[in-house]
């Protein structure tokens, strides 16, 4: 991700609006009922926003839609979202194995914790648990098991897989994904440096 975009992510993670956003999310989720669709309408079409504008907007959203979640995960994984529509994003995420048709989610569906965790786990290639291998691969509880994977990787705080994601929580998870990748790279670099000073490495021709 570009430095200016991650500056917004890190600034958003320091914001102290979690309680207010969570309260709004619960209220809106109750209003949505069985439709699982957001009633809140953004002042501007997010698809017309740049990535930086989108991140700034996302942090203020009380409940995230599936389309917004897809864009957020692409930015977290690649540093940018080159796509202009939900269909384009979905096709790319499906190609990577980050979404499943069986979920039957639409662009304006609610983006929940389980969906966010599954997408993050696939993007970061997190080590699966025994349950996720045996049952998640069949589509049985795949997103529920993904929550445990994401919690173990310290990407999110534990919660029910069906919990709606607020914009603040989504941005926080994006930042944690970036931290995870950074730490993995640092550790890999440290291991390579250590190996270069090992007896075997020094003895090698």
Number of other CB atoms surrounding residue 186 within 10 Å: 10
How is the chain split into domains, by residue range? 3-187
Tens-place pLDDT, residues 31-52: 343 346 788 888 888 999 999 9
Give the closest residue to 156 by CA, choosing from 164, 148, 129, 64: 148
pLDDT for residue 191: 46
Mean pLDDT across the chain: 78
pLDDT for residue 7: 56
pLDDT for residue 31: 38
Q: Is the dihedral of CA 158, 162, 168, 170 positive or negative?
A: positive
Spell out, as residue ranges, where the chain has pLDDT lower than 50.
Answer: 15-35, 191, 196-205
Q: What are the angstrom distances between the C-alpha of 174 and each of 27, 32, 133, 139?
A: 24, 26, 25, 24
Residue 121 tokens, joined: 């786990």
Tens-place pLDDT, residues 131-169: 555 555 555 578 998 999 999 999 999 999 999 999 999
Determine contact, residues 117/147, Cβ cutoff 8 Å. Answer: yes
- As a whole number of angstroms, the distance between CA 58 and CA 62 comes to 9
């Amino acid at each position: 991700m570009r430095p200016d975009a991650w500056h917004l992510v890190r600034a958003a993670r320091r914001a102290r609006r979690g309680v207010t956003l969570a309260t709004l999310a619960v209220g809106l989720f109750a209003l949505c009922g069985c439709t699982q669709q957001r009633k809140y309408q953004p002042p501007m079409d997010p698809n017309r926003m740049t990535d930086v504008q989108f991140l700034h907007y996302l942090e203020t959203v009380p409940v995230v839609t599936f389309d917004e979640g897809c864009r957020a995960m692409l930015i977290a994984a690649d540093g940018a979202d080159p796509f202009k529509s939900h269909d384009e994003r979905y096709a790319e995420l499906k190609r990577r194995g980050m979404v499943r048709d069986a979920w039957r989610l639409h662009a304006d569906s609610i983006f929940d914790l389980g969906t966010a965790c599954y997408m993050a786990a696939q993007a970061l290639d997190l080590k699966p648990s025994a349950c996720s291998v045996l049952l998640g691969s069949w589509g049985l509880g795949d997103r529920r098991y993904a929550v445990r994977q994401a919690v173990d990787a310290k990407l999110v705080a534990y919660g029910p897989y069906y919990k709606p994601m607020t914009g603040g929580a989504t941005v926080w998870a994006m930042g944690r994904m970036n931290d995870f990748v950074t730490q993995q790279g640092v550790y890999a670099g440290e291991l390579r440096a250590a190996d270069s000073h090992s007896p075997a490495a020094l003895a090698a021709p």
